[in-house]
Amino acid sequence: MAEEEKQDTTEETEEAPAEETQAEEPKAEEAPAEETPAEEAPAEEAPAEEPEEAPAEEAPAAEEAPAAEAAPEEPAEVLSPKQKRKRERSRHSGEAGPPRSSEERAKERATRRAENASGRKRARASVRRRRGEPGHGTPPAEREPGTRKVRQGVVVSAKPDKTITVRIEITRRHPTYEKVVRQTNTIHAHDESNQAQEGDTVRVVESRPLSRLKRWRLIEVLERAR
């Protein structure tokens, strides 16, 4: 019995190291298996980083192209006459003139302005020559100062009491174009005795204001209506 027990213990002791070795071997084998993914990770990350960098470099180029196309043109610079003269003086490459006093510069400006004015006068004269000489037209009527105006016209209305409406036709020649111009004016005149009728040719004279519209007075009836 004692021998059997010793054999059993020896077998157990022999089996125990075997089991331990077997248990240790997978651990040793598993360690490289776990390390290999860790080592392979950088290899996998490298291709992942390349596509990320490529679009980043292309994006600014794509953004710059529309920006360059959409850039608006700068408006032309508008300069005042003084700024234009200043720019012309700055671009002058010849010899500098002698120094001048303020009086001399003022005299030169006056001379230049007189020359420009004479040039404009000649240009206007040439335009008038091309158009033709202007006419004189109908001269104004001679009237002594202090005398009242007298007009002749046709009665167009005599319905109100002591009031007539007279149409006065004015024909004159235009002073520039020598064209006959006809105008019609209507006035209200005072007829104290209601002697004028529609269609009569009458003569009226200027007077003081007799009402809101009447500023004329009937003198005589020249021709009766037919």
For the chain, the domains span: 150-223
Please state, in angstroms and as integers, the Cα–Cα distance from residue 219 to each residue in 3, 170, 204, 208, following that order. 180, 20, 5, 14
Q: How far is CA 104 from the centre of its chain?
A: 42
Closest CA to 184 of 199, 167, 201, 200: 167
Q: Is-contact 184 167, C-beta < 8 A?
A: yes
Is 150-223 CATH 2.40.50.140? Answer: yes
- pLDDT digit of tens for each residue in the chain (226 aa)? 455 555 555 555 555 444 444 444 444 444 444 444 444 444 444 444 444 444 444 444 445 544 445 556 677 788 898 999 888 888 878 777 788 899 999 999 999 999 999 999 999 888 877 776 666 788 888 888 889 999 999 999 999 999 999 999 999 988 877 889 999 999 999 999 999 999 999 999 999 999 999 999 999 999 998 8
Beta bridge partners of residue 154, listed in sequence order: 167, 201
Q: Is the pTM of this model over 0.85?
A: no
